[in-house]
Amino acid sequence: MSNFVHQYQRELDRCRQQFESLDLRKEKGYLFKFTTFSASVQNILPEIPIEKHEDLFQKLLLQQVYTTFDQQFLTANDLIQTKGPIRKLINSQQPNIYCTFHLGSYRLLTSYLYRNGIDLALLVSRGTYQEQGKDIWSTIRGLQKKHNLTNSFQILDAEQTSSTLQIIRELRAGTSLVIFIDGVTSTTGLNRQEDKEVQVRFGAKNLWARKGVGFLSYITKTPIIPVISYRERNLNNVLSFLDPIVPEANCDRDTYCQLSLQHLYDSFWQYLTRYPEQWEGWNYIHKFLDQHELEQQADSFLKPQRQRPKKRVVFNQERYSICDLEDSPILFDRRLYVTYEISTDLRDFLLQVGTIEAPEEVLGTEMYLDLLSKQIIA
């Protein structure tokens, strides 16, 4: 096994060296992706100073390289360290709903469970299946060939209307389910169906979470097993299996859905604050945030009327960022995740406004007061 460990470490080192040879700031879309990432960290985990965000973002990009490699390197499954009652879960012959997040080398959970003989169904969004389905099946077939596995595996489309009934049948037939509860973005924004979602507290914000996990557990009396994946400093992958969540006899369905989801996110939070650079969800969590709450909080910072400041104004970098999107300059509202296309002249003005003696004269009174009212300059 030690030879495999050394080989694995060498391969990860090679991945790191290739990654560090890139000039990330020249990669297409880098600045906009980083800006979105930074806004989410600032909104949800404000304890992390903004000046540390880019280092975290680049560590996340490297983590994604490691994650892709782990899926292709089948021996990585044999090197996983586990915590919690995993042997009891494997030997129980009872199906479970394994709920996890896109933290660490998260794809290893599915292959680890399958490698250990569990009949498994993986629930994913349609987009994920289209992008990763072939790679997932390639990994499963590789494990089947390497270890002579005969247990069943299937990928289920979370967006298919009949998926709920199909999952219930599979759970009752003894098949376990794997769900990434922070990754189903198909019902966000204008498509949100609030009757199928509940709000949970997540750091400094509220977010919308699908009820489906709690509903399936309640209807089929199947335990929910929270599983957190993370990578230690020595690059070892860990899967931490936490205590099961089960429906109480006196708990109604809606209450159980709310409590079980909050429990899952609370458990995840303990790991996220330790490994923030390993969570892929920073790139899309804004799709789950409560837009009404964001707007209310943003409005609370606005001044009741437009007024001229007594000191020299500067560009409000805490609230806004300037970057390029498809070669056009945009202004990004970090609180509301809204973008505004701006002219190159306005971009240059905002970047230099702190050095301009009479910015109102340069810009014009109406535009100048409008920027003040929106806190673009302050």
> pLDDT value at position 161?
80
Averaged pLDDT, 93-98: 94
Report d(CA 110, CA 67) in Å as an integer. Answer: 13
- Which structural domains are found in the chain, ordered by start? 2-287 (3.40.1130), 291-373 (no CATH)
Q: Is 339 helix (H, G, I), strand (E, B) or coil?
A: strand
Decide if pLDDT at 105 tops 90: yes
Of the candidates 155, 157, 185, 200, the residue with the CA atom closest to the CA atom of residue 280: 185
Tell me the two tokens of residue 360. Answer: 């109102």
**pLDDT tens track for 12-44:** 999 999 999 999 988 888 999 999 999 999 999
Say if pTM beats, i.e. exceeds, 0.75.
yes
pLDDT digits (tens, 9 = 90+) for 159-201: 888 889 999 999 999 999 999 999 765 444 445 566 789 999 9
Q: What is the tens place of the pLDDT at every residue in 110-122?
A: 999 999 999 999 9
Q: Is the pLDDT of residue 306 over 80?
A: no
Q: What pLDDT, on a 0 to 100 scale, did the predictor assign at position 305?
A: 46
**For residues 43-47, average pLDDT:** 95
User: d(Cα 312, Cα 304) in Å, to the nearest integer?
Assistant: 20
Return all residues near 149 (Cβ < 8 A) that are at least 6 apart: 114, 115, 117, 143
Tokens of 305: 């009327």
